[in-house]
C-alpha cells in the first residue's frame, strides 16, 4: 500500500489542482464531508449528541469548518473554536469559515490565555472533539496557546477524531513535536502518512481510516513514492506447481548455535523447514550435533570444529564448502562472539557471493567491520540495540528518526536492512522503505528473531530476491505471531508457538 510523505501529498494535491483542474475548494469539501460522516457514525453508535471543532488557521482548519457545517446540517449541536485570529484566515478556509458563521454556528477565537477557561468548559460539556488544528504541514515544535489547547483536549478524555493527522504529530517521522493530540480515530486524506504507522505516532493516531477526497490515485506515481505499508494483498503467495520436487524449493544452510544456545540453531532451522525449503542444512559445533539431531529430523545436521562449545576458525573451509552447495545462507543465531567467531564470520562473508542473512552474533561480529558487507547480497536483521552497536548511534536517536537512519545505512553499505521493532521497517537498496503491518507484543520473546531468520533465508533459497524475501519474511513472521496469539495470548506465547503457526500464516497468504 502506497504511503506518501507530507511533501509528496502536497505535490499530489498541487498536480490535482493545477494539472487536473480539480478546484482546491472541492478537495476541502470532500475531506470535511468524509470526516463529518465518520463523526456522525461515531456519535450515533455511542449515543453522543454534541461536538466541538477546534481549528487552526490553515487548510486543516478549513476541513474542520466543513465538518462543522455538515454536522450542523444534520442537526448535531456543534461549536467551533479557532486557534488564532479569525481575520488572519484566508483562501478556501476563509470561504468555509464565512459559510458556518452565516449559518449561525457558534465560532470563537482563542487568542489569549483568558479564552482557555471557556474552551475548557465547552470541552467538558461536549461529547466529542474534532481536532483540525494542524495538518501534515506542521513545522517545528508546538508551543504557546496551541500547546495548551492540545493539553486541554487530552485532559478532557473525550472521544477525539483527528483530521488528517493528530495535531502536533510529525507526519513523516511519527515524533511528537512538543505536544500532540491523542485521537481515537484519525481520518487521513487519500494516502497513509509514514508517521501514522510507527511509534509513537500509532499511539496518538488511534484507528486510522483513509478518506477518498477525489484525487485520482494514479497521481501518486508522479511523486515516485518510496514508502510502502505492507498489507496482505502486497504479499500474496502463489500455489506450488504439482510437478515439482524438493530441489525446486531451495537448499539453505544455517550456521548457528553454541553449547549454551542450542535452541537458537534449532529454531532457525525448523522455521526454514516450516517456511517451505526443499532442503535445510544446519552447521553447528560438533559437540551439540547429537542434541540437535535428536530434536530436528527434517534437516541435515553438520558438526563443525569447535573450541569450548563454540565454532572455531578451523571450520572456515568446511563452511565455505557447504555454502557452495547451498542457494542461500543464514549466519548468527546463538553463535556467541567468543574466540575467533568474529574473524570467522568476516572471512565467510568475504569469500562468498551467495545471498546471506546475518543476524544476532553475526551482527555483533560486524561492529567495526561493516565495510565487508558493502555491495554483497546481504540482509541484516538487527533490533534497535544491535543497530545502535553497528552505527554508534543511541537507541533513542534511531527510534526518533528511524526512516532516515535506515535509509542512510542502506545507502552507505548497499545491503537490505530489516530493522526489527514493534513495527519492523525494511529498507532496500533502491531507497524504498517498507513498514510491516503484522505482529503483536507477545512476539517480544526469546527465539522470535531466530524464527524470522529461518523464514527469510528459506524464502531466499526458494528464489525470492533479497527485498522480497525480507518483506515477505517479516510479514509472515508477524502473521504467524498473530495466529499464535489467538490460541496462546500475548503473555503465554513462545517462539515455538510462532514457529508452529507458520504453516497457517502461509496458508492465509495463499488465500489472498
278 is in an annotated binding site: no
214 is in an annotated binding site: no
57 is in an annotated binding site: no
47 is in an annotated binding site: no
60 is in an annotated binding site: yes
347 is in an annotated binding site: no
93 is in an annotated binding site: no
422 is in an annotated binding site: yes
Q: Which residues contact 252 (CB under 8 A, 6 or more apart)?
A: 272, 277, 279, 280, 281, 326, 327, 328, 329, 330, 457, 458, 460, 461
351 is in an annotated binding site: no
pLDDT in tens, the chain (512 residues): 999 999 999 999 999 999 999 999 999 999 999 999 999 999 999 999 999 999 999 999 999 999 999 999 999 999 999 999 999 999 999 999 999 999 999 999 999 999 999 999 999 999 999 999 999 988 889 999 999 999 999 999 999 999 999 999 999 999 999 999 999 999 999 999 999 999 999 999 999 999 999 999 999 999 999 999 999 999 999 999 999 989 889 999 999 999 999 999 999 999 999 999 999 999 999 999 999 999 999 999 999 999 999 999 999 999 999 999 999 999 999 999 888 999 999 999 999 999 999 999 999 999 999 999 998 999 999 999 999 999 999 999 999 999 999 999 999 999 999 999 999 999 999 999 999 999 999 999 999 999 999 999 999 999 999 999 999 999 999 999 999 999 999 999 999 999 999 999 999 998 65
Its pTM stands at 0.95
478 is in an annotated binding site: no
**Angle, CA 177 vertex, CA 50 and CA 43 arms, to 5°:** 15
92 is in an annotated binding site: no
450 is in an annotated binding site: yes
Instruction: Give the C-alpha separation, 163 to 189, whole Å.
Output: 8
138 is in an annotated binding site: yes
Instruction: Give the C-alpha separation, 48 to 177, whole Å.
Output: 31
125 is in an annotated binding site: no
**Structural contact between residues 263 and 447, judged by C-beta atoms closer than 8 angstroms:** yes
497 is in an annotated binding site: no
473 is in an annotated binding site: no
Domains in the chain, start-ordered, CATH in brackets? Answer: 2-226 (3.40.50.10260), 233-509 (3.40.1190.20)
303 is in an annotated binding site: no
334 is in an annotated binding site: yes
135 is in an annotated binding site: yes
Instruction: Give the C-alpha separation, 355 to 156, whole Å.
Output: 54
Amino acid at each position: 500500500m502506497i504511503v506518501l510523505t507530507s511533501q509528496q501529498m502536497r505535490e499530489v494535491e498541487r498536480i490535482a489542482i493545477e494539472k487536473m483542474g480539480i478546484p482546491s475548494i472541492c478537495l476541502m469539501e470532500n475531506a470535511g464531508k468524509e470526516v463529518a460522516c465518520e463523526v456522525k457514525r461515531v456519535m450515533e453508535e455511542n449515543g453522543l449528541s454534541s461536538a466541538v471543532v477546534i481549528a487552526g488557521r490553515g487548510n486543516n482548519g478549513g476541513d474542520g469548518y466543513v465538518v462543522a457545517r455538515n454536522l450542523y446540517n444534520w442537526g448535531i449541536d456543534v461549536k467551533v473554536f479557532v486557534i488564532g485570529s479569525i481575520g488572519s484566515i484566508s483562501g478556501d478556509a476563509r470561504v468555509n469559515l464565512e459559510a458556518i458563521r452565516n449559518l449561525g454556528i457558534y465560532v470563537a477565537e482563542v487568542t489569549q490565555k483568558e479564552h482557555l477557561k471557556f474552551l475548557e468548559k465547552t470541552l467538558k460539556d461536549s461529547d466529542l472533539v474534532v481536532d483540525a488544528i494542524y495538518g501534515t504541514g506542521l513545522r517545528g515544535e508546538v508551543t504557546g496557546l496551541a500547546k495548551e489547547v492540545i493539553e486541554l483536549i487530552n485532559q478532557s478524555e473525550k472521544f477525539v477524531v483527528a483530521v488528517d493527522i493528530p495535531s502536533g504529530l510529525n507526519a513523516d517521522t511519527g515524533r511528537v513535536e512538543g505536544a500532540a493530540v491523542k485521537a481515537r480515530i484519525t481520518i487521513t486524506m487519500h494516502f497513509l502518512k509514514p508517521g501514522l504507522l510507527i511509534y509513537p505516532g500509532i499511539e496518538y493516531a488511534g484507528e486510522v481510516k483513509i478518506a477518498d477526497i477525489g484525487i485520482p490515485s494514479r497521481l501518486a506515481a508522479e511523486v515516485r513514492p518510496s514508502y510502502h505499508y505492507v498489507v496482505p494483498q502486497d504479499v500474496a503467495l502463489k500455489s506450488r506447481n504439482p510437478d515439482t520436487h524438493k530441489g525446486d524449493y531451495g537448499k539453505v544452510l544455517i550456521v548457528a548455535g553454541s553449547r549454551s544456545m542450542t535452541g537458537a540453531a534449532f529454531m532457525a532451522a525448523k522455521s526454514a523447514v516450516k517456511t517451505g525449503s526443499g532442503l535445510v542444512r544446519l552447521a553447528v559445533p560438533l559437540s551439540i550435533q547429537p542434541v540437535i539431531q535428536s530434536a530436528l529430523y527434517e534437516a541435515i545436521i553438520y558438526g563443525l570444529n569447535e573450541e569450548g562449545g563454540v565454532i572455531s576458525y578451523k571450520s572456515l573451509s568446511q563452511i565455505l564448502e557447504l555454502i557452495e552447495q547451498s542457494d542461500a545462507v543464514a549466519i548468527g543465531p546463538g553463535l556467541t562472539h567468543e574466540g575467533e567467531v568474529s574473524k570467522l564470520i568476516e572471512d565467510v562473508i568475504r569469500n562468498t557471493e551467495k545471498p546471506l542473512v546475518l543476524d544476532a552474533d553475526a551482527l555483533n561480529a560486524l561492529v567495526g567491520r561493516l565495510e565487508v558487507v558493502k555491495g554483497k547480497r546481504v540482509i541484516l536483521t538487527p533490533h534497535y540495540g544491535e543497530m545502535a552497536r553497528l552505527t554508534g548511534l543511541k537507541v533513542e536517536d534511531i527510534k526518533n528518526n528511524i526512516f532516515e537512519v535506515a535509509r542512510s545505512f542502506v545507502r552507505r553499505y548497499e545491503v537490505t536492512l530489516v530493522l526489527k521493532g514493534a513495527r519492523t521497517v525494511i529498507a532496500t537498496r533502491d531507497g524504498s522503505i517498507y513498514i510491516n503491518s503484522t505482529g503483536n507484543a507477545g512476539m517480544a520473546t526469546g527465539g522470535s528473531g531466530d524464527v524470522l531468520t529461518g523464514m527469510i533465508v528459506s524464502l531466499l533459497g526458494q528464489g525470492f530476491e533479497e527485498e522480497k524475501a525480507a518483506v515477505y519474511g517479516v510479514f509472515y513472521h508477524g502473521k504467524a505471531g498473530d495466529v499464535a496469539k489467538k490460541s496462546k495470548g500475548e503473555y503465554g506465547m513462545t517462539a515455538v508457538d510462532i514457529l508452529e503457526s507458520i504453516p497457517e500464516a502461509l496458508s492465509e497468504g495463499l488465500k489472498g
